[in-house]
Amino acid sequence: MLKSSVLITLALFSAGSAMAEEGGIDLQSSGADITNTESLQRGARNFMNYCSGCHSLKYVRYNRMAVDLKISEAQLAGNLMFTGDKSFDTVNSAMPKDAEIWFGKQPPDLSLMARARGVDYIYSFLKGFYADKTRPWGVNNLYLPSAAMPHVLAEKQGLQKPIFKNEPDAHGSARMVLVGVAAMSPGALKPEEYDQLVRDIANFLDYAGEPVKEKRQSMGVFVMLFLLVFFVFAYLLKKEYWKDVH
Ligand code: HEC
């Protein structure tokens, strides 16, 4: 029993680290905070503006999101919903089913992306686009080699260039390896403003992946406190019961 659970833990652990190593570049820490409602509100608005054209959130309903993120019905209708959607609808993308013809790949639903790959991955991915003339959209991504997604926030971030390093392979022959990116031409936002923009989007997708996460965490603290208090009483009771036995 113990042995198998250790094995499972090890397997899960190695799966996790294998995922992080994909692409070979360390993820950047997003600093996203799911308890920050203002960040989630901005993230929701930005997601609707810049991402929902291609990506759906098929497990998120507008009205549930409005309650969780403390968004009024008026704001919801005015800023977040597209014509035709009802507040009890889930977040659909405007993308037709034949998007594959345009991108070579269907843009994935992002409801569970933060759970599958982590909030830091989304943050890093949105900061990882760099100019690459060999790709259909003129950009590639540090964290997803040959990414089929265009750099939709290029106007905000500006463009980055790749940094290569010469790392001889096992046989000693020269090999250029992509190790990072550097700013090439500025965008409309300052670097820290862009970081905030994508942090908010990543944060919102973390919420989308698990709408009860914030409640679960605060509930967890409450449960632990309760158990602690309960333990004290249980212990006192036990002492009381056993005091005459010996
Ligand atoms: C013009 C269409 C389009 C828009 C707009 C768009 N994406 Fe994408 N996105 C794609 C496509 C296509 C893929 C599939 C890429 C692949 O697998 O190579 C993708 C993939 C992704 C992935 C998955 C990456 C992975 O590792 O598989 C994430 C995360 C993502 N997009 C986030 C976003 C966010 C956040 C926004 C808004 C800022 C956004 N996308 C806007 C087309 C789009």
In the chain, where the domains are located? 24-211, 222-246
Q: Is residue 148 in contact with ligand 1, taking CB distance under 6 Å?
A: yes
Cα 54 to ligand 1 centroid, rounded to whole Å: 8
Pocket test for ligand 1, best of 46, 55, 92 (most atoms within 8 A of CB): 55
Q: Is residue 91 in contact with ligand 1, taking CB distance under 6 Å?
A: no
Q: Is residue 19 in contact with ligand 1, taking CB distance under 6 Å?
A: no
- CA nearest to 129, candidates 180, 95, 204: 180
Q: What is the pLDDT of residue 5?
A: 55
- CA nearest to 125, candidates 134, 116, 103: 116
203 contacts: CB under 8 Å, gap ≥ 6? 30, 32, 33, 34, 36, 39, 40, 43, 119
DSSP result, 170-202: TTS---EEEEEEEEEEE-SS-HHHHHHHHHHHH
| C-alpha to C-alpha distance for 164 and 8, rounded to whole angstroms | 38
Print burial letters for 154-175: b (CB count within 10 Å at least 16), e (below 16): bebbbbbebeeeeeeeeeeeee
Q: Is residue 153 in contact with ligand 1, taking CB distance under 6 Å?
A: yes
| C-alpha to C-alpha distance for 17 and 4, rounded to whole angstroms | 20
| C-alpha to C-alpha distance for 117 and 23, rounded to whole angstroms | 13
Q: What is the pLDDT of residue 7?
A: 53
Residue with CA nearest ligand 1 atom 41: 51
Pocket test for ligand 1, best of 19, 27, 54, 121 (most atoms within 8 A of CB): 54
- Tokens for 35? 């308890």
Q: Is residue 113 in contact with ligand 1, taking CB distance under 6 Å?
A: yes
- CA nearest to 33, candidates 174, 195, 204: 204
Cα 107 to ligand 1 centroid, rounded to whole Å: 6
Q: Where do we find the tokens 């002492």?
A: 239
The CATH T-level fold of domain 24-211 is Cytochrome Bc1 Complex; Chain D, domain 2 (1.10.760)
Helical ranges in the chain per DSSP H: 2-21, 37-46, 62-68, 73-75, 99-103, 113-117, 119-126, 154-157, 191-209, 213-242
- CA nearest to 126, candidates 65, 82, 187, 176: 187
Q: What is the pLDDT of residue 8?
A: 53
| C-alpha to C-alpha distance for 213 and 117, rounded to whole angstroms | 16
Measured from the Cα of 146, ligand 1's closest atom is 18
162 contacts: CB under 8 Å, gap ≥ 6? 130, 131, 132, 140, 142, 178, 180, 181
* 10-residue stretch averages of pLDDT, the chain, 246 residues long: 53 46 78 95 95 92 92 87 81 78 88 94 97 95 95 97 90 88 96 98 95 81 93 94 83
| C-alpha to C-alpha distance for 74 and 69, rounded to whole angstroms | 14
